[in-house]
Amino acid sequence: MNEVVIDCLGEACPVPLVKAQNKLNEMSVGDILIVQIDHSCAMKNVPEWARNDGHNVEVEEVDDGEWEVIIEKSK
């Protein structure tokens, strides 16, 4: 099981989402992707996309206005 962290701190809305989508495509089922974000808008669309796609998703607020979206690739 691999774990990949991508750092999207300071990047505005669609960038974290696109990076996460591309990264997750390269990964295999069971791998975990952690997306670090501080753009509140990405906090909504990254988990929403991943859940709609059928992956396990969890959001953790690690600091004020800083989140980690943990995605387990499930298919």
Partner 1 sequence: MAEQSSLASRRSSSRAKRKPKKNQIPIGVLMVAIIIAIGIYLGTQSGKLLLFWATGIAFGVILQKGRFCFTASMRDPYLTGSTSITRAVLVAFAIATLGFAAIKYGYQSMGIPMPGMSYVAPVSLGTIFGAFIFGIGMVIAGGCASGTLMRVGEGFHMQLLSLLFFIIGSLWGAHDFGWWKLNVISKGKAIFLPDVFGWAGAIIVQLLIIGLLYVAAEKYEEKRKAK
In the set 8, 10, 12, 13, the catalytic residue is: 13
**CA dist list (Å): 20 to 5, 8, 63, 65, 69:** 10, 9, 21, 19, 10
Do residues 35 and 63 lie in contact, with contact meaning Cβ atoms separated by under 8 Å? no
The reply to whether 13 belongs to the active site is yes
Residues 37 and 69 sit within 8 Å (Cβ to Cβ) = yes
Does the protein bind partner 1 through residue 72 (CB under 8 A)?
yes
Q: Figure out which of the listed residues 8, 67, 70, 73 binds partner 1, where binding follows CB under 8 A.
A: 70
Q: Which is nearer to partner 1, 26 or 72 (CB)?
A: 72
The SS3 call for residue 14 is helix
Which residues of this chain interact with partner 1, rule CB under 8 A?
A: 1, 3, 5, 10-15, 17-18, 32, 34, 38-41, 44-45, 48-49, 52, 56-58, 60, 62-65, 70, 72
Catalytic residue list? 13
